[in-house]
Amino acid sequence: MWNKLIEAEMKKDYFKNLDLFLEQELKKYTIYPSKENWFKAFEETPYEKVKVVIIGQDPYHGENEAHGLAFSSLSDKRPPSLKNIFEELKSDLNVEIPKTNNLTDWANQGVLLLNTVLTVRKDEANSHKNQGWETFTQNMIASLHKKDYLVYILWGKQAQAYEKWITNKNSLIIKSAHPSPLSVYRGFIGSKPFSKTNEYLMKNKISIIDWHLEK
């Protein structure tokens, strides 16, 4: 299903322009994640399996960090936002803070970890903003309108701007401040998104997410 939707987007003018931009960027700069991982979120979480959508911003821009899943990292060094996510998870569900920074296990259970922008220049945050990715990810989120009882977790203003694309009334939208160190104390801590998600899924007879990761 995702493949068909992505192919349809690629035929549109905005995506052709985005493609040209990315071609030029690849010639001049190091781009993260690697090209084969640009659509990793869709590969790891098939359309039919989506239960939860967590919307991120743009990928991590450090070496060996981004791999196509929002907030997830391949690096041994833990990104500050992910550190705060894990601390809230422990506070919320008493889930032990894991050693891994890789969230693929969440994605495989139906958590679509989607950044609003899918690529970035090395060491330059937001360098691929407003080039067309936002239109693409808006359309992907809008395509989920046929699915009932999804949970959307919107951390921060950039993610919350996507709320207007969530049109199925049988959805739970969980909003709070972003988990970054700059805003974590403005309402992210104590927001309990993980328990709220599982309570909603259980209420609607959908199998819950096991938020535990490798110890």
| 157 Cβ neighbours under 8 A, 6+ residues apart | 178
The CATH code belonging to domain 1-30+41-203 is: 3.40.470.10
Report if pTM > 0.95: yes
Over residues 71-125, the pLDDT tens digits come to 999 999 999 999 999 999 999 999 999 999 999 999 999 999 999 999 999 999 9
Over residues 141-179, the pLDDT tens digits come to 999 999 999 999 999 999 999 999 999 999 999 999 999
Show which residues are catalytic.
58
- Alpha carbon distances (Å) from 74 to 8, 12, 135: 30, 32, 27
How would you classify the pairing of strands 120-121 and 31-32?
A: antiparallel
